[in-house]
A and B are shown apart, each in its own frame.
Chain A
Amino acid sequence: MPDALLSLRGVKTNIGRYHILHGVEFDVPEGGLTMLLGRNGAGKTTTLRTIMGLWRAAAGEIRFDGRDITGLATPDIARLGIAYVPESMAIFGDLTVQENLILAARSGPFDPKRLDWIFSRFEALKRFWTLPAGHLSGGQKQMLAVARAIIEPRRLLLIDEPTKGLAPAIIANMIEAFRELKDGEATLLVVEQNFFFARALGDSVAVMDDGKVAHCGGMAAFAADTALQQHLLGLGMGEHQ
């Protein structure tokens, strides 16, 4: 088992007077893709936002590459090499596709090879390069949101429901892109509802229920255990293919 790049211990997050996370604990091994699964409202998005510092952990510890990042501000967390793709995509609609990516490339001009690779995966971004991103379709916006996270090498990608509302052809492309990323330099933590996607890509899995992690382990074992899936997610993976 590779060392954990990211680990959460006893993380609790409150939003206003609501207690959302009740002591989340799991590890994200370096170099792989960890799927964060769970029913709606289980706390998956809150977990990603807490890691990113967008919501403050009320208790517990989040360590990235051995360093405690629990109290860091969001920009400082991002500068450690963590990229975040929110569920809402949060593309800048008034900026062009190019300008969205320029902002994401903090260290300077684009690496042409990397840009070509992104274009090979998300061809629409090349076609609409100078178009305001607000005019893109939902799928194209999702491509741009992911491209923004990978336009430069990052050590950890936090991606919230990347396939939500996407056409199957785009999902297939995204699977290929994520596979190439995890085979390359990046570690990924992906929140996903699409179990076909989760099983196709995940190396490990953490399943959340009611603000806590109810199961951690390898994806292959989880995919094979329909009883556990039924217990934790309500449905077997086979029903989602």
Chain B
Amino acid sequence: MKRDLLPWLLVPLVIVAALPLVGSAASWVTLTVAGLAMGLMVFIMASGLTLTFGLMDVLNFGHGAFIAVGAFVAASVMLAMGSWMSADSLALNLAAIVPAILAAMVVSGVLGFAFERVIVRPVYGQHLKQILVTTGGLIVAEQLIKVVWGPEQITLTRPEALRGAFLLGDIAIEKYRVLAVVVGLVVFAALALTLNRTRIGLLIRAGVENGEMVESLGYRIRRLFVGVFVVGSALAGLGGAMWGLYQETVTAGIGGQVIVLVFIVIIIGGLGSVGGCFVGALLVGLTQNYIGFLEPKVALGSNILLMALVLMWRPQGLYPVARR
């Protein structure tokens, strides 16, 4: 039986189609890498959200809080290790970044656990209440961030090893974007392996399709959901940390700003589908960068337009999950 590869083919199609429009090969390569990097960072933030929606039908608008907290925690750790960040040594740079990212993931994961217990659990199965309560959770989290870290934005400087660009002839590729692509691909590979090669992954995929039947087979899907929620929150923290470094500033509103992109991505991909989320994130990242270059005035609306086009083609998203 053939796999449905058409949505995957959209990514190379968009990349190839952009070349004549952009004109310059150097600009095209730069924009493509920027688009892939942006898309993969959004994918990291969105992957957990799509799974939690698929598993338990939970619309969590508070996901942005995990992104913001991850960004602030990572920023705090990196600022505290300022001398290592600015050292002209890749080893010292990594010695600052790795603990910063791990701390971001741990704190966001713990916050996710508490968020699920206190805010999400009482409103299972009630979409309207979920939207209201989780949006409220995001607003409270933003205010708490201001209490802890202050109302001003934090300016981050990328470590020495990640500043600047690789130069290939007249093509410049930012080093940080290469790192973002690598991390995004590693996260995708890890998720794909877990989902397709482990029993937990099988349970998650089955639970996304029909949680009631998974319970009837003797598995406690609530526990599975809490686990996925925590991992998804930790990934959001990782994405937030990377996004903060990408923007080189961190503000309390970072989660609220990025969550719009995250929702566009998971809707395009098909709610509950990690593969769809991956393809959707790449399409969003590429489209925004190409259109931002070609027609900056419409760049803001390009993602909405992309979502509308995808939904006209496939109303359930690129990879609709078979539902109960």
Give me the interface of A with B, judged by CB distance under 8 Å.
52, 54, 73-75, 78-79, 83-84, 86, 88, 90, 92-95, 99, 102-104, 106, 131-132, 134-135, 148
Contacts and interface: CB of A to CB of B under 8 A. Distances in A.
15 contacts: A75-B218, A75-B220, A75-B221, A78-B217, A86-B216, A92-B205, A93-B209, A94-B205, A95-B202, A99-B202, A103-B202, A103-B206, A103-B214, A106-B218, A135-B1
Is the contact region of chain B dominated by helix, strand, or loop, or is it mixed? Answer: helix
Nearest to A85: B216
B293 interface: no
Interface residues of B, number: 21
B297 interface: no
Contacts of A132: 1
B219 interface: yes
B212 interface: yes
A75 B215 CA distance: 5
A171 to B, nearest CB: 23
Interface in B193-233: 199, 202-203, 205-206, 209-210, 212-221
B212 A90 contact: yes
A92 B210 contact: yes
Given A102-B199, A131-B1, A135-B1, A73 B220 contact: yes
Given A93-B209, A131-B1, A132-B1, A54 B202 contact: no
B162 interface: no
B261 to A, nearest CB: 26
Q: Which among A52, A94, A106, A131 has the greatest number of chain B C-beta atoms within 10 A?
A: A94
Nearest to A106: B218
A237 B177 CA distance: 73
A103 B221 CA distance: 13
Contacts of A75: 215, 218-221
Contacts of B322: 92-94, 134
A103 B203 CA distance: 7
B187 interface: no
B206 A106 contact: no
B19 interface: no
A79 B322 CA distance: 26
A84 B215 CA distance: 10
